[in-house]
Amino acid sequence: MAWKTDLVLMLRSLVGDLDMTTYTDERLKQIIVAGAYNVANDADFTEAYVIDITAVSISPDPIDKKDTDFSCLTVFKSACILMGSEAKTQSTNAIAIKDGPSSIDLRAVSKNYYILYKDFCEKYEEILKTYQYNNTLVGQVILGPYSPGGMILGSSQFDFRGNNFN
């Protein structure tokens, strides 16, 4: 499946792991499937995606279907999940040690992960809102022969409600 290559590479580039030293492909696939599950619950898509977290699968493949909206939302949600986990892990290592003139301060590391976490989650929410706004029926109307707007379209014809508009 193409998503197992493309979405993993996209997620690696977002979280800065292009040298593949921090996360394995299998771990990133698991996170992507969890992100896809959340995305499928947050938005409606023309394609009905079946996400199986246990089997680590997304069907049909969003890359093969060229569904860039689903793919981008999934990658950003996955980055949000991943950075949230890293921020939590790094917060346990947030220590400051001072011994005489020397000191070690690791509190900024967890703070930076938290900033990345917030940034990815905010970007995901922004992209999701844009997707939802652009893919709704807001501002559209259905006109028919029995609606008030339909009277304007056929004003020279007989109205079946009993009115003549000549």
The string of pLDDT tens digits covering residues 5-37 is: 999 999 999 998 888 888 999 999 999 999 999
Domain extent at residue 106: 3-134
Residues 80 and 57 occupy one common structural domain: yes
Does 111 share its domain with 145? Answer: no
* Whether residues 68 and 149 fall in one domain: no
* 108 lies in the same domain as 150: no
The predicted pLDDT at position 88 comes to: 87
Given this model, what pLDDT does residue 122 score?
A: 95
Residue 146: which pLDDT band, with cuts at 50, 70 and 90? low
Q: Do 91 and 157 reside in the same domain of the chain?
A: no
Q: Please tell me the distance from the alpha carbon of residue 106 to that of residue 83, in angstroms, as a whole number.
A: 17
Residues 159 and 121 in one domain: no
Q: What is the pLDDT of residues 106-120, one digit of tens each?
A: 888 888 889 999 999
Most confident of 12-26, 93-107, 126-140: 12-26
pLDDT of 129 > 90? The answer is yes
Would you place residue 166 in the very low, low, confident or very high pLDDT band (cuts 50, 70, 90)?
low
- Do 55 and 105 lie in one domain? The reply is yes
Percent of the chain surpassing pLDDT 90 = 52
Q: Are residues 11 and 82 in the same domain?
A: yes
Q: Which residue has the higher pLDDT, 1 or 32?
A: 32
Those residues whose C-beta lies under 8 Å from the C-beta of residue 134, and which sit 6 or more positions away, are: none
- The answer on pLDDT for 84 being more than 80 is yes
User: Which residues, other chains included, contact 110 with Cβ-Cβ below 8 Å and sequence gap of 6+?
Assistant: 87, 90, 91, 93, 94
Q: Is the pLDDT of residue 136 over 70?
A: no
Please tell me whether residues 71 and 15 are part of one structural domain: yes
> Domains in the chain: how many in total?
2
* One domain, residues 84 and 164: no
| Residues whose CB is less than 8 angstroms from the CB of residue 47 and which lie 6 or more positions away in sequence, other chains included | 60, 62, 65, 67, 70
∠27-36-10 over CA atoms, to 5°? 60
